[in-house]
Amino acid sequence: MLSTIKKFIKLQNIMKEQLKFKVAAVQYEPSQFNKKLNIDSLLNLSEQAAKEGTKLIVTPEMGTTGYCWMDRKEVEPYVEAIPGHTTDKFLEITKKYNCYIVVGMPEIDKETNLYYNSAVLIGPSGIVGKHRKSHSYIAEPKWSAPGQEHVVFETEIGKIGILICMDIHFIETARLIALQEADIIVHISNWLGERTPGSYWISRAFENSCYLIEGNRWGLERTVQFSGGSCVINPDGSIASVIDKGDGIAYADIDLNWPRERKVLDENVFNDRRPEMYMNLPTDPYLWNPLEFFGLYGLNPLPKGKKSKISITQMTTTNKIKDNLTKMLQYLSLAKEAKSEMVVFPELCLTGHLNENSTPLKKESSEISILADYANLNDIYIYFGFAEEQDGQFFNSTALLGPEGLLGIYKKIHLNKEDKKWASEGNEWKFFDTKIGRIGLLIGYDAIFPESARCLGLQGCDIILCASAQKGIFTHRHKGSKIRQNYPIPMGADPNHWNHFRMRGGENNVYFLYSNIFDKKNNFLGKSGIFGPDPFKFPREESLIHSNEDITHLVIDTSNLDTNYPTNVVRDKFMMSMRQPHHYLPLIKHHQKK
């Protein structure tokens, strides 16, 4: 019996070891119009990585040819079918070293004569599959057609999904891969316009609990400066390995047991999804002029909007409601002095974030009435969290108060482990039209789910308020890049290079106000901020809180010029209009909770 147990343990250890292996991100500067040189160079780099025992090697987007093509005629001599001469060359390496290689190349479909920006996954037994870029950047429509699917490939080294460059700007693409239980997102790119590793890369790994292997190019081509930063990103968003400038290889050892836990910040996010709440994800309202669309039939026209100063707080609460209310009123007084028109407070800040909510409040409570009177008398909007009792049920709720009174109560839709001990789920997204703009509401854990802010963005929200009590690390720094960027793109060290909740603003073209609890003893680390709506704008339009407890302000603009068409990024929402909703149906499929 003992020998049988030992054999079983030994077999388990062997199986576990097979989930651990080395991966590599290849960085390369291709020479346009010199396909042979590019292929030979990539073959050399790939073989170099393979000799190190690497099982998965990722090369850059369009690495075989260069990227900046003017039209179909110019790229025509360089397109190639898959399989073809180029893939055969890389197949020789995968067979010889028993590894997998991802190659980026312009592809021709022989049946249609269409061209695609493609990535092919080649393994020891041949071509495993390919991905055709589905969400085009500005350059691709000059010569290529968009791809039509997002699939995950099952291999001996795990489940692998592929995205190409602009694909990853959209929350839906990586989520489609993650819902197919991908272990690894391979992202090949010709990334530009920012210091790398890019925040989008990091957030897609983090929110989907996947490894992300980034093969990016560097160098200058037709006046375009590419950013390098090829890397391997862990499922928690930390950088396992990175190469900044120059041709080279970033290696890392990975363990597939990590992504298979399927956790983000120690929460089972894929079991906590609410697909029934995401039914507008496959819609495409920004195909149309939003100023007309949202006012169709005379209902729900977007408010006029304006320039406004707004504020967020970061604070520690106690179990004493009176003390919490006193502190909130102190911050409101500071906001009034700064001539702010809106203040956002953290999740459960009124009733306390650690009291397990033995003292919930009803919306008619005297404490909420005091805040409502303040909002009315001082012409200010107040958003805050509290434990709510309604009809014998308890909810993790927020209230939005304004000069008009109580605009509404939002009940948290995504409940984390702590919430589930006492609270019931909410079942309605809430957004309100105000003189500041259209405002959507979220609470803490909601914002971990990329679907949440997207659902509100698709309703035309200019601003999303997030009252949070989120534990854990969702930010990290950058030591600086040696790749020269034109002003004002930053190159130097940055202690706030990545903040996951910054992405919620840019990817949805909204102002995202994130107010978090600070309580270091209990792993609430703050990192609150007001984040702007344009992901490509530098210097960033934002204001961060750096101390433990504080208030910060930012002037925002939700107004539109006197025209029938949008002139403001929060109204135009260019990131919304570039979505490909026909891909997104799997995001709303119901699942069996485990």
User: What element of type H or E holds 16?
Assistant: helix 2-17
Amino acid at 229: G
Residue 44 has a CB neighbour count (10 Å cut-off) of 13
| Among the listed residues 579, 594, 592, the one whose alpha carbon sits nearest the alpha carbon of residue 175 | 579
What is the widest separation between alpha-carbon atoms in the chain? 83
Q: In sequence order, what are the residues at sequence separation of 6 or more whose Cβ sits closer than 8 angstroms to the Cβ of residue 266?
A: 417, 471, 472
Contact between 30 and 65 under an 8 Å Cβ cutoff? The reply is yes
Q: Which residue has the tokens 């006492």?
A: 422
The full DSSP string for 378-400 is HT-EEEEEEEEEETTEEEEEEEE
Residue in 130, 133, 412, 430 annotated catalytic: 133
For 217-321, strand residue ranges (E) read 218-221, 224-227, 231-233, 239-242, 248-255, 307-314
Q: Which residue has the tokens 């010199």?
A: 34
Residue in 99, 165, 231, 455 annotated catalytic: 165
Q: In sequence order, what are the residues at sequence separation of 6 or more whose Cβ sits closer than 8 angstroms to the Cβ of residue 34?
A: none
| Separation of CA 438 from chain center | 22
CA distances from 170 to 152, 490, 503 (A): 17, 23, 11
d(CA 150, CA 162): 8
**Is 52 one of the annotated active-site residues of the chain?**
no
d(CA 395, CA 440): 18
Contact between 205 and 548 under an 8 Å Cβ cutoff? The reply is no
Residue in 35, 47, 55, 61 annotated catalytic: 61
Angle between helices 450-457 and 171-178 (to 10 degrees): 140
Q: Which two tokens stand for residue 437?
A: 């703009």
The full DSSP string for 462-473 is SEEEEEE---S-
**Is 89 one of the annotated active-site residues of the chain?**
no
**Is 68 one of the annotated active-site residues of the chain?**
no
Taking 3-state DSSP, the helix, strand and coil percentages for the chain, each rounded to the nearest 5, stand at 30, 30, 40
Angle, alpha carbons 108-111-115 (nearest 5°) = 25
- Catalytic amino acids? 61, 133, 165
